[in-house]
Amino acid sequence: MKFAEQLKHAREQRGLTLADLAQRTHIRTDYLAALEAGDLSALPERTYTRAYVQQLARTLGLDPAPLLADFDAHVPRAASDTPTITRPTIRTRPRRALPTGLIAGTLSALLAVGVLGYFGYTAWIARPAQTSDATTPAPTAPATQVKLTLRTQPEGARVYLDNRFLGLTPVSGFPLDARDTANLRVEYGGFKTIEERIPLQRNVAYTVKLQRGSGTTALVPVTPPPPKPTTPVAATGTPTPDAVPTPAATPATGVRLTFTGRSWVRVTQAGRTLYEGIPTPGSTRDFPSGVMVRAGNPTAVQVSVNGQTAEAFGASASALTRTF
């Protein structure tokens, strides 16, 4: 067998032993020896032996084709080695029609289920609403509102209530939540700071006179003078006409501001605020000379200096600052 001789010759040329070749190809040593000797009886079936020949040829650097051709010539394929393809027989089962009674019974059952479901749903919808035992909490009543009114002499003091800035005096009817007490603080440059806890269960109104100096002092409201007694008018006789109030005389020195309309105004002197607020239209305010006046609506303010005739503070409605 030429393929056996060629395999043995190629192995010996490469200086390999049967053990070396078995380690490389993972073919048993006795199988390798039987192949080189041409002893096919010591080898497994033809399919495996032919695969060994092909693997050894590639490992030893030989062309497998002529070796396999020589192997096939000496070891022909047996009839049992040829695979036969057997096609499976497909058996079809005849379709059976469903019994008419089964179809009718199924439809009747579905119809009955639908009718029962409809009436059950209708009864569930018409059931009386269930009342819950849980009581709904009553809405919380809003906090009672009270009003704070505070006037100071002089005006323009800064007012705080529980560290909340309320504005500059006069503060009139400022709405607040009712409470037992609150901390009132009144500040004005050059005057003592008023600090006092005041009740806030109801509306409160204070008029206080600021004291010059530093430090703090308690709230000491100014006691209003008692009302003057009125003289009753006799039932007979000529009635006395109502007295016409005489306007205050213009001071000979200083600055007088007359407010013919609404305008915010701030009056300062040497960096100290003498007044800041929105006076009532028709009112007047007097200040010493050397003041700086800033008006938000100059057309609503008349100014008179040292008793002179009053003139408009400004010709336009834009904010204006002047010094007198």
Q: What integer pLDDT is reported at residue 163 of this predicted model?
A: 92
Rg for the chain, CA atoms, rounded: 61
Tokens encoding 297 = 């609506």
3-state helix, strand, coil in the chain (%, to 5): 25, 25, 45
- Whether 158 and 194 have beta carbons less than 8 Å apart is answered as no
Is-cis flag, bond preceding 241, omega within 30?
A: no
Kindly indicate the confidence band of residue 94, based on its pLDDT and cuts at 50, 70 and 90: low
What's the length of the chain?
A: 324
Q: Which of 310, 316, 319 is nearest to 259 (CA)?
A: 310
pLDDT greater than 50 at residue 132: no
pLDDT greater than 60 at residue 136: no
Q: What integer pLDDT is reported at residue 168 of this predicted model?
A: 94
How many whole angstroms separate alpha carbon 240 and alpha carbon 247?
21
How many whole angstroms separate alpha carbon 189 and alpha carbon 170?
16
Q: What integer pLDDT is reported at residue 239 of this predicted model?
A: 46
Domains of the chain and CATH, by start: 2-77 (1.10.260.40), 145-217 (2.60.40.1120), 255-323 (no CATH)
How many whole angstroms separate alpha carbon 61 and alpha carbon 67?
12
- Whether 143 and 177 have beta carbons less than 8 Å apart is answered as yes
Average pLDDT estimate for 24-32: 92
Q: Kind and range of the H or E element at 115?
A: helix 100-125
How many whole angstroms separate alpha carbon 87 and alpha carbon 65?
34
Q: Is the pTM of this model over 0.75?
A: no
Secondary structure class of 21 (helix, strand, coil): helix
Name residue, tokens 């005096």. Answer: 169
Lowest mean pLDDT among 49-53, 219-223, 285-289: 219-223
Lowest mean pLDDT among 128-142, 261-275, 282-296: 128-142
* 223 C-beta neighbours (distance < 10 Å), count: 7
Q: What integer pLDDT is reported at residue 120 of this predicted model?
A: 81
Q: What integer pLDDT is reported at residue 296 of this predicted model?
A: 92
Angle in degrees, CA 158, 176, 151, rounded to 5: 35
pLDDT greater than 60 at residue 255: yes
Secondary structure class of 48 (helix, strand, coil): helix
Kindly indicate the confidence band of residue 244, based on its pLDDT and cuts at 50, 70 and 90: very low
Average pLDDT estimate for 275-293: 92
Output b/e per residue, 268-306; b: 16+ Cβ within 10 A. Answer: beeeebbbbbebeeeeebebeeebebbbbbbbbbbbbbe
Q: What integer pLDDT is reported at residue 143 of this predicted model?
A: 61
How many whole angstroms separate alpha carbon 179 and alpha carbon 197?
12
Secondary structure class of 11 (helix, strand, coil): helix
CA distances from residue 227 to 223, 224, 230 in whole angstroms, order as listed: 12, 9, 9
Name residue, tokens 């709405």. Answer: 175
pLDDT greater than 80 at residue 303: yes
DSSP lists the bridge partners of residue 82 as none
Q: Which burial class, exposed, middle or buried, applies to 15 when counting CB atoms under 10 A from its CB (0-12, 13-18, 19+)?
A: exposed
Q: What integer pLDDT is reported at residue 85 of this predicted model?
A: 55
